[in-house]
Amino acid sequence: MDLFNIMGKVKEAQERLKVSQEKIGELRTEGESGAGMVKVVINGNRKLMRIEIDDSLMNDKEMVQDLTVAAVNNAIKNMDELIKTEMSKSMEGVLPNIPGLDLSQFLK
């Protein structure tokens, strides 16, 4: 590969990263805990968008707190997987497939 080809690939990768960042910001995913008694939705920027709490939990503050934390952590895990998938798709054909290369860290 010559230097101009490499530089072209870098520029293309940068452009694709920018587009991916916009797409990722629009992603939504749900996390739940307590067999669905607490559900949360976060977006691709890892911002909490919605919380749903089953009415039967409203008298147990500690349970609500614990289940909410678990649901948010579940949603974040789900979003991390969605972001990795989106990044892999966006960089397909631009960068070589390098095992362990995770570009999602550039989107945080």
Residue range of the domain that includes 15: 3-107
pLDDT at 34: 97
The label of the residue with tokens 């992603």 reads 27
Please give the Cα distance from 22 to 29 (Å, whole number).
16
Scanning the chain, the segments in alpha helix (DSSP H) are 3-26, 61-91
pLDDT at 98: 56
Give 33's strand partners. Answer: 38
| CATH number of the domain enclosing 33 | 3.30.1310.10
pLDDT at 52: 98
Domain count, the chain: 1
Block means of pLDDT (10 residues each) for the chain, 108 residues, are 76 85 92 98 96 97 97 97 86 65 55
Record the pTM.
0.74
pLDDT at 67: 98
pLDDT at 51: 97
